[in-house]
Amino acid sequence: MRRIAALAVLLPTLGCQAQHEPASSDPTSAIAESLSLPPSRVWTILDDLVLAPFWVGNSDHGTLFGPLWRSALPGIEDFVYAPPDGDCRALKGTIRVDWDKASNTVHFLSKWRGLPLRPSVHRTSGVDFFPNAFHGAPKDFDDGSYRLWVVLSSPTNKANFWYDARTLQLQGSDFNFPSGPPAGTFPVPLPIFAITGSQAFKPQQDGSAVHEWTITYDHLQAEGGFFSFAYTSYTPQDLCESRAAQPSTGQLRPYVTSWFPPGQGPSWDTVLRSGLAFDLNAEETNAFPQTGGNLPYVFSGVAFIGNLMATQGGIPRGSKISIPSSIQNVVPAFFPVPGGVDLGCHTFVNDPHVTAPRFCEGAH
Amino acid sequence: MRKLFSYSVAALAVSTAAVAVRADTPIADFILRQVYNASVRYSTTVEFPQRIGARGDVARGRRVFGFNDAETAIDNSGGLFEGQSQVGGTITSNGKVCATCHRSEAFQYGMPPLPLSATIPLNDPVFNTAPEDGADPNAFFNADTLGLFAYRPNRFNPLRPADDPFRQVFFWRKTQRLLNVVFTFGLLNDGRFREMVEQARGAVFTHTQNGDDRFDDLVAVQRLLDIGAFQESHIDPPELSALLDPADPNYATLVNDPFHTVNLTTNQQRLGETVFAYNCMSCHNMPNVFSNVDHWNGPPLNFPPLYGHTFDIGISQRNRFNLDVRKFDTATGTRVPIVLPLVTQDGRTVQYTVADDVGAAGSTGRFEDLHKFKVPQLRRVSQMAPYFHDGSATTLEEAVDYFNTAWYNDSAEGQLHPIHLSQPERNAVLAFLRAL
């Protein structure tokens, strides 16, 4: 209540700081008007108070400002990280994106509080880590860092995934077989999602961090421009464990392509129409010079702090979007974060669908 | 700056007077709803990314919908979804097809005048509402006398347990008429479906079978696309079709002149147009159709529900017919309150005891969506009685008069856009609406 009171009292005041527009008398207009100011690297009261995405401008020129919460947007089978002391109360991030088609720029400014300094992840195979031929992320790492992933959550893009006609095992997707699929395979079209991200960064001693970067408007790319994006999906690896009519009851495992070269990403207005989302992952810190600092396996699958801007209100603190709900086309798609977001928070594996009944053998 | 944090709630009420916080409105909820409402990147471009269009076949859709080819009679021989499902087991039908409730064009593909039993025999499947009504003892009265049917919006959600309150919550709603539905962002009264395939699938699951298990394998997507194409084909007046195609020579005219296709012949009607534009078009702003133009900027399935813009105008809270939305326990013959865990924008969970139609919140799970509904189109509105999602205005006059009441003006939307029509203005708006 105190926080909301502060919000209501303060936002009109902040509106008076806007340089180019008259002060607004209502809170939402006031915060929107404050976005006419240049982005600030300092953690401000707005970063404390922002509870939902704010959009101003249009597809050519505009700004998004929104909150990022623990485990608001974990992927299927993601390992959701928690601070070693089990205290998630201070965790928060904010993202401000300013885009301008005329200057061909999209600028990201992310600010963070409460980040553990050197995240370490140690998992147990078969318990909270599941080896995956189509996503070769490491099981363990120490002295890690963070990357912010930019996710196009659109489920309307599809690719063919090729399965061995005899074993029903996944062989790869169109992207694995640029010269055509292997003999004896058949295709299953499945949704794919584009992701790109920042370079690795580490927080200050107090757990705060600021990371900003700029990309081109006309082609989405990873920070630094070494790559554009990668496609990811959640697919059955054994088609026998999949149920086409009800995929949420079947096997669904992470799949990711290799990075695509620069210049192949969609333009920012397409990104905006594709369902924009963000997810901070804990990642290993290696330099990866061969991939320009980008992870060769694209992402670690160690989710931490994020949000889905492409839903009204975003995801509130303490809730997570359920990707199986989206796949199954059912609502409400929000569930409480299993590991919590306050004192006593803990790690968990999100919505694992590693194995399923062998539907093809009649085991319903 | 720090001092601001010490402001009391009383001071808050004063400082936010400019946003019309009412004494009887919880301040925090009001502000959170404002924050939530402002968090959407709506497009107001007259475009219809959700349209089925040529992906569906109108003639096939008509048959699946449950009409004969001439659309002169209901024919359920090709429209039922039943059989042996690998997921849901044996699926049987209660005899309903889409046309059971969406009757002929004479009724704008809605229900005939009430009571239904005056024109529909009692052995018609429309009166066979089990199992979706949960054997509610009010089901027959509500259907026959009020034209209201029970809907459980999340009945077929396999990711929640059967006793999950979101699977139990239900409401009594009238049948939506399908005229100009192609111009709608968000389908059904609460806009919970983003496009026609979702809507048709939801209707199939809700009405035509014996249990709560899904049977997607019996519901081919192409049949849903065909149903969607048939529903989209009902456009009146026909020149509204130009809105669907920016390349149409009349597109810009219809977009830029919101009343271009409205034929007004009297001064009272023309005054009504002015009154309507001033008082009603903050919501009814789709040019020439007068539904709502706001939608997420992109294809509908890229965005979790809701896709369109919904509003709380106080209809649910009025609950004119005292509709009972407690679950009827057939074992004990008693009613059991349903308590929904609704998430607020600041991350709290409110255990909300359902006492009226929860509106969009029943699908989104968001506290800020309580009592919100989409904006209906208004062409041929004088032939569309009863009005509102619960049919609580039986005449057009009652519907217009509602907006002059405290029920509207105290509602969330009414506080932002109050309406106080004089008698001449009221009569003029009615004259204008009758001309649509």
* Residue found under tokens 């809701």: B306
3-state SS, residue A163: strand
Question: Which domain covers residue B285, as residue numbers?
Answer: 16-49+240-435
- Does residue B81 lie in a domain region? yes
Least CB–CB distance from A248: residue in B19, B159, B305: B159
Last residue within a domain, chosen from B232, B252, B281:
B232
Pick B34's closest partner by Cβ from A28, A59, A274.
A28
B12 contacts A5? CB cut-off 8 A: yes
Residue A63 has pLDDT above 80, yes or no: yes
Residue B11 included in any domain: no
Would you state the torsion angle of the CA atoms of residues A39, A42, A46, A52, taken in this order, to the nearest 10 degrees?
70
Q: What is the pLDDT of residues A11-53, one digit of tens each?
A: 433 433 333 333 555 666 667 778 889 999 999 888 998 999 9
pLDDT digits (tens, 9 = 90+) for A129-179: 999 999 999 999 999 999 999 999 887 789 999 999 999 999 999 999 999
- Reply yes or no on whether the pLDDT at B7 is more than 80: no
Place of tokens 């009972």: B324
pLDDT-wise least confident of A7-21, B113-127, B260-274, B298-312: A7-21
Pick from B337, B363, B341, B368: which is nearest to B352 by CA? B341
Q: Which residues contact B59 (CB under 8 A, 6 or more apart)?
A: B69
Residue A330 forms contact with B (CB below 8 Å): yes
Same domain, B41 and B98: no
| pLDDT tier, B81 (very low <50, low <70, confident <90, very high otherwise) | confident
Average pLDDT, chain B: 90
Mutate to test the interface with A, among B4, B27, B31, B199 (most CBs of A within 10 A): B31
Q: Cα angle vertex B382, ends B319, B67, to 5°?
A: 90
Distance CA A122, CA A141 (A): 7
pLDDT, mean of residues B95-115: 91
Residue B157 inside a domain? The answer is: yes
Q: How many Å from the N-terminal Cα to the C-terminal Cα in chain B?
A: 54
> In degrees to the nearest 10, what's the CA dihedral of A307, A313, A317, A318?
-90
Domain end point (choices B190, B213, B232): B232
pLDDT of residue B30: 86
The predicted model gives B148-168 an average pLDDT of 93
CB neighbours (10 Å) of residue B213? Answer: 17
A65-90: pLDDT as tens digits: 999 999 999 999 999 999 999 999 99
Mean pLDDT for all residues in chain A: 91
The conformation of residue B77, written as its DSSP 8-state character, comes to T
Do B314 and B425 sit in the same domain of this protein? yes
| CB nearest A53 (choices: B39, B214, B305) | B39
- Residue B6 placed within a domain: no
**What dihedral do alpha carbons B315, B318, B324, B325 form, nearest 10°?**
50
Q: Is the pLDDT of residue B88 over 90?
A: no
Residue B9 within a domain = no
Residue of B nearest to A72 (CA): B347
Pick A316's closest partner by Cβ from B198, B301, B345.
B345
**Which residues, 6+ apart, have CB-to-CB distance to A22 below 8 Å?**
none
Identify the CA nearest to A215 among candidates A298, A293, A101, A300.
A101
| Range in A100-104, B105-109, B324-328 the model is least confident about | B105-109
In the prediction, which pLDDT does B8 show?
29
Helix B221-232 vs helix B58-65: crossing angle, to nearest 10? 100
Mean pLDDT of A117-130: 96
Instruction: Looking at the structure, tell me whether residues B141 and B61 fall in a common domain.
Output: yes
From the list A6, A253, A309, A288, the residue with the least C-alpha distance to A135 is A253
Weakest mean pLDDT among A122-136, B46-60, B100-114 = B100-114
Note whether B224 and B250 are same-domain residues: no
Q: Do B245 and B224 share a domain, yes or no?
A: no
What is the structure's pLDDT at A278?
Answer: 98
| A267 touching B (Cβ < 8 Å) | no
The answer as to whether B8 is a domain residue is no
Same domain for B359 and B389:
yes
Percent of chain B whose pLDDT exceeds 90: 78
β-pair partners for A61: A100
Rounded to 10 degrees, the C-alpha dihedral B398/B404/B405/B410 comes to: 130
Contact B159 A322 (CB under 8 A): yes
Give the ipTM: 0.92
Confidence category of residue B5, pLDDT binned at 50, 70, 90: very low
Kindly list the distances between the CA atom of residue B266 and the CA atoms of A115, B15, B270, B278, in Å, as whole numbers in the listed order. 68, 47, 6, 19
pLDDT in tens, B396-427: 999 999 999 999 999 999 999 999 999 999 99
Interface contact A5-B299, CB threshold 8 A: no
Asked if the Cβ–Cβ distance from A332 to B364 is below 8 Å, we say yes
CA–CA distances in Å: residue A237 to residues A127, A134, A163, A254: 19, 9, 8, 9
> Do B25 and B163 reside in the same domain of the chain?
no
Inter-chain touch B7–A25, beta carbons under 8 Å: no
DSSP state, residue A137: -
* pLDDT at site B26: 58
A54: which chain B residues are within 8 Å (Cβ-Cβ)? Answer: 38-39
**Of chain A residues 309-328, which have a CB less than 8 A from chain B?**
310-314, 316-319, 321-322, 324-326, 328
Contact A245 B87 (CB under 8 A): yes
- Answer whether A28 sits within 8 Å of B303, measured CB to CB: no
User: Looking at residue B25, what is its pLDDT?
Assistant: 52
B45/B58 same-domain check: no
Average pLDDT of B56-64?
96
Q: How far is CA B240 from its chain centroid?
A: 21
Could you report the per-residue pLDDT of B341-376, keeping only the tens digit for each? 999 999 999 999 999 999 999 999 999 999 999 999
CATH code at position B20: 1.10.760.10
Per CB-CB distance under 8 Å, the chain A contacts of B159 are 248, 322, 324-325, 328, 330
B23 pLDDT exceeds 60? no
Strand ranges inside B250-348, DSSP E:
295-296, 327-329, 334-336, 339-343
Q: Is residue A288 scored above 80 in pLDDT?
A: yes
* Within a domain: B155: yes
Indicate yes or no: CB of B365 within 8 angstroms of CB of A334: yes
pLDDT above 90: residue A312: yes
Q: Which two tokens stand for residue B191?
A: 């806009």
For position B19, what pLDDT does the model report?
Answer: 36
Cα Rg for chain B, rounded, in angstroms? Answer: 22
Spatial contact of B177 and B49, defined as CB atoms under 8 Å apart: no
Q: How many CA atoms lie within 13 A of A51 on its CB side?
A: 26
Q: Are residues B275 and B397 in the same domain?
A: yes
Beta-carbon separation of A9 and B27 below 8 A: no
Q: CB–CB of A313 and B157 under 8 A?
A: no
Domain count, chain B: 2
**What pLDDT is recorded for position B213?**
84
Question: What is the per-residue pLDDT for A24?
Answer: 54
Asked whether the CA dihedral B137, B143, B147, B149 is positive or negative, the reply is positive
| Cβ-based neighbours of A100, under 8 Å, separated by 6 or more | A60, A61, A106, A217
CB contact at 8 A, B9 and A1: yes
**Taking a C-beta distance cutoff of 8 angstroms, is the pair A107, A97 a contact?**
yes
Q: Collapse the DSSP code of B141 into the 3-class scheme (helix H, G, I; strand E, B; otherwise coil) and give the result.
A: helix
Provide the pLDDT for residue A2: 44
Angle at A184 between CA A178 and CA A189, to 5 degrees: 60
The mean pLDDT of B248-270, rounded to a whole number, is 98
**CB within 8 Å of A169: residues ≥ 6 apart:** A163, A237, A238, A239
Whole-structure pTM value:
0.92
Q: Which residues pair with A170 in a beta bridge?
A: A163
Residue A10 predicted with pLDDT over 80: no
pLDDT value of residue A8: 47
Q: What pLDDT shows up at residue B107?
A: 87
Whether B71 is in a domain gets the answer: yes
- A155–B301 CB contact, under 8 Å: yes
Domain boundary among B215, B232, B249: B232
- pLDDT at A214 exceeding the cut of 90: yes
Mean pLDDT over A242-271 rounds to 94
The pLDDT assigned to B77 comes to 85
Which residue among B4, B216, B347 places its CB closest to the CB of A246? Answer: B216
The answer to whether residues B36 and B167 belong to one domain is no
Specify whether B76 is located in the same domain as B36.
Answer: no
Query: What whole-number percentage of chain B has pLDDT above 70?
Result: 93
- In this structure, the answer to whether residues B225 and B259 fall within a common structural domain is no
Cα B59 to its chain centre, rounded Å, is 26
pLDDT at B243 over 60: yes
Provide the percentage of residues in chain A whose pLDDT is more than 70.
91
pLDDT score recorded for residue B165:
97
Q: Residue B306 and residue B295: Cα distance in Å, rounded?
A: 9
